[in-house]
Structure 1
């Protein structure tokens, strides 16, 4: 929540304290948003809510799977996805020993997972591109590498390849997360 508070404070400093902002939290339709609303209103005090310190900020929640379109087309100036795109839209295969790919995964299991991850990443980007206004920004933070071993083979290279076509402004790899910012032209 601190990152949103800092972002909103910076935007209000730049655009004026009376500028209105809408923040939409999105999660799966079965998520219980009660704790979010209690935290935002101050009923749950820690960490402190940015709503307690500023006016003209309106918080909403969307119970829509992010592999679907979540908001109207061309409606978003800024979107942020934090540690979520590693979840697949569906189970690509039945794993014999684990639901996660690991060194024991068969070649077939690994290939099925990688293919589903590729399809899901493309779908995620297509849905967000519809939602962004021209000039809008999409920030994505996701698991990337763990102790120099890729969690999903090919994802890192695929992101770099796609970024080269999307005119990214920022790309950072800290061996644990991928951070990227994409501006819609």
Structure 2
């Protein structure tokens, strides 16, 4: 993949995560509005909201993992030179890649089990496995983005800086 197409792929994953934020917010807003004003609840609103929140979390992991926007502790990193900072970044990203890969493997098992057991929502009897599958896709996207981040940290660290005004530490 060329650099531009890779960046479009990364941006697409981030937009998907953002769309799920909007969907979850809209679901909560509409459910509360209908319940408080019209004394009506959407069937399976709670189950759908709960599963959509799970989807949001896994797609959020994908969005934050590539950019390094997750919570970090940089006490050691801030006090070493640029060469060691890069090695710390590579090591931390490899650990993250391992952890998220194992998580993705186990989540696939959950999707398969939910499908096989025919788990349904309470009110409308909708199958829940598609929600788990979409969450798994977000986790799989996280593995891809972390692998891209690892590759870029090792072989092309200059591609990790999105803002041209921000210069890497020399």
Coarse TM-score class (shorter-chain normalised): 0.3 to 0.5
TM-score (norm 2): 0.34
TM-score (norm 1): 0.32
More helix by share: 2
Greater relative CO (CA pairs within 8 A, separation 6+): 2
More strand by share: 1
